[in-house]
């Protein structure tokens, strides 16, 4: 698959640099050296540190009159400096968020600051061809998708991939050496290379919820999905989909696998599957509606307004007070939970319960819909 990944990247990044279609630049304060200064801790929300270079990326211009330095010396020093910067800039991996107007923004410091903000529609997009509904990381690349499909090795440099399928992606994942996606008009597709897709639809009901796709790995491997009607389905091979059985009076808007069980929720009522999505049973209900669920650090986490629910098995849930948190898109990586609330507010936590002060995006244009994490390569 390494050769496939290389050709995939070469194709996507070789067509055009999507960042050239427009970018947004927002920051707290410019330190004068290209970095952004984060203010000291204070009460109340902070403004997001989001920036892109004023003139884009490019080689450093040098002068022939630099004391004792040849062009080769300068180039070598610049290369060493760049390598050191890259090595130090993302020791914890990378979070990337996507949303309206084809917006993409990343964090390389565990969600503290957000940089390289860029959009296909800088002046604001809607529910249109440029909306990026979902993002995931697999086979060495971030894959962002809606009607558009864009890939990036680092969340900074992006290229489009030809999108020959007939509808939009609502959720996307990578497992078993292939991409699997669900989306518009019942679309259920698979692809080995992210370019050529095969449709395996069994109905015409769309899947808008971005969390309506997960991969169970026990007791067997299966892709598990839900759609706009809350119906759950599963496919061991990503292609042969069947409707799930069992409890049918509870719909699901998100599904997540962990500790041998798939958990589904409509925001309050929880359902469980212990056979990789084939059959479901009802579990306890939450007394405060939640949204945003991950499995990390040995347990499930669901965000609710001023509370965080946790469970090791999905059947019993602990309600933890967490003043200031709200439902939103949620991801975990390298010991950090990152939540995006209301499309423009960033929050982070090391345990999923105690959250740092909210960091507000200074832009009200192109809200963010989903977030994913990639470990340092």
Tens digits of residue pLDDT in 190-215:
999 999 999 999 999 999 999 999 99
pLDDT of residue 115: 95
Q: Which of 38-42, 82-86, 108-112, 243-247 has the lowest mean pLDDT?
A: 38-42
Q: What is the pLDDT of residue 17?
A: 42
Sheet holding 329-333, edge to edge: 46-47, 359-360, 345-349, 336-341, 329-333
The yes-or-no verdict on residue 256 having pLDDT over 90 is yes
Q: Where are the domains of the chain?
A: 91-374
Q: Is 226 a residue whose pLDDT tops 80?
A: yes
- Supply the pLDDT for residue 311: 98
From its phi and psi, is residue 177 left (phi > 0), alpha (psi between -120 and 50) or beta? left
Identify the pLDDT of residue 231. 94
Phi, psi at 4, each rounded to 5°: -65, -40
Return the bridge partners of 159, or none: 151
Q: Is the pLDDT of residue 248 over 60?
A: yes
Phi, psi of 204 (to 5 degrees): -120, 20
pLDDT of residue 166: 76
Q: Specify the pLDDT at position 28.
A: 30
Q: Omega into 214 within 30° of 0, i.e. cis?
A: no
* pLDDT of res. 90: 53
Percent of the chain residues past pLDDT 70, beyond the cut: 75
CA distance 63 to 78: 14
* Mean per-residue pLDDT, 211-221: 96
Q: Are 113 and 351 in contact (CB under 8 A)?
A: no
pLDDT digits (tens, 9 = 90+) for 306-340: 999 999 999 999 999 999 999 999 999 999 999 99
From 46-55, 182-191, 311-320, the region with the lowest mean pLDDT: 46-55
What mean pLDDT comes out for the span 90-98?
87
More confident residue, 219 or 41: 219
What pLDDT was estimated at residue 242? 98
User: How confident is the model at residue 163, as a pLDDT?
Assistant: 72
Mean pLDDT is lowest, of 38-52, 130-144, 358-372, for 38-52
In the predicted model, is pLDDT for residue 155 greater than 50?
yes
Q: What is the pTM of this model?
A: 0.79
Is pLDDT of 227 > 60? yes
β-bridge partners, 321: 307
Q: What is the mean pLDDT of the chain?
A: 82
The structure tokens listed for 171 are: 């959720």
Is the separation of the CB atoms in 213 and 172 below 8 Å?
Answer: yes
Taking domain 91-374, whether its CATH number is 2.120.10.80 is answered by yes
Highest mean pLDDT among 10-19, 293-302, 358-367: 293-302
């Amino acid at each position: 698959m390494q050769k496939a990944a290389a050709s995939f990247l070469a194709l996507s990044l070789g067509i055009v640099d999507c960042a050239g279609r427009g970018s947004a630049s927002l920051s707290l304060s410019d330190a004068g050296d290209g970095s952004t200064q984060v203010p000291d801790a204070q009460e109340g929300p902070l403004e997001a540190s989001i920036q892109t270079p004023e003139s884009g990326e490019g080689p450093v211009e040098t002068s022939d009159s630099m004391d004792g330095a040849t062009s080769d010396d300068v180039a070598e020093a610049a290369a060493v400096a760049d390598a050191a910067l890259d090595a130090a800039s993302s020791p914890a991996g990378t979070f990337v968020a996507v949303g309206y107007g084809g917006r993409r923004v990343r964090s390389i410091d565990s969600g503290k600051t957000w940089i390289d903000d860029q959009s296909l529609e800088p002046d604001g997009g809607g529910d249109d061809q440029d909306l990026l509904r979902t993002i995931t990381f697999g086979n060495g690349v971030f894959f962002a998708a809606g009607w558009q499909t864009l890939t990036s090795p680092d969340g900074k440099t992006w290229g489009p991939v030809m999108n020959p399928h007939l509808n939009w992606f609502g959720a996307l994942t990578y497992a078993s050496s292939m991409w699997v996606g669900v989306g518009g008009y019942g679309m259920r597709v698979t692809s080995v290379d992210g370019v050529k897709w095969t449709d395996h639809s069994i109905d015409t009901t769309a899947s808008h919820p971005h969390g309506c796709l997960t991969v169970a790995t026990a007791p067997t491997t299966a892709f598990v999905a839900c759609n706009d009607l809350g119906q759950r389905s599963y496919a061991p091979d990503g292609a042969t989909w069947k409707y799930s059985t069992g409890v049918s009076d509870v719909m699901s808007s998100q599904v997540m696998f962990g500790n041998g069980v798939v958990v589904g929720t409509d925001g309050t009522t929880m359902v469980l599957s212990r056979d990789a999505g084939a059959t479901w049973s009802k579990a306890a209900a939450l007394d405060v509606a939640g949204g945003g669920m991950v499995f990390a650090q040995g347990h499930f986490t669901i965000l609710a307004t001023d509370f965080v629910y946790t469970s090791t098995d999905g059947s019993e849930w602990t309600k933890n007070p967490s003043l200031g948190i709200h439902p939103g898109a949620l991801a975990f990586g390298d010991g950090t939970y990152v939540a995006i609330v209301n499309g423009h507010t960033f929050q982070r936590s090391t345990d999923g319960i105690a959250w740092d002060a909210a960091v507000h995006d200074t832009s009200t244009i192109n809200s963010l819909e989903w977030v994913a994490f990639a470990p340092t390569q």
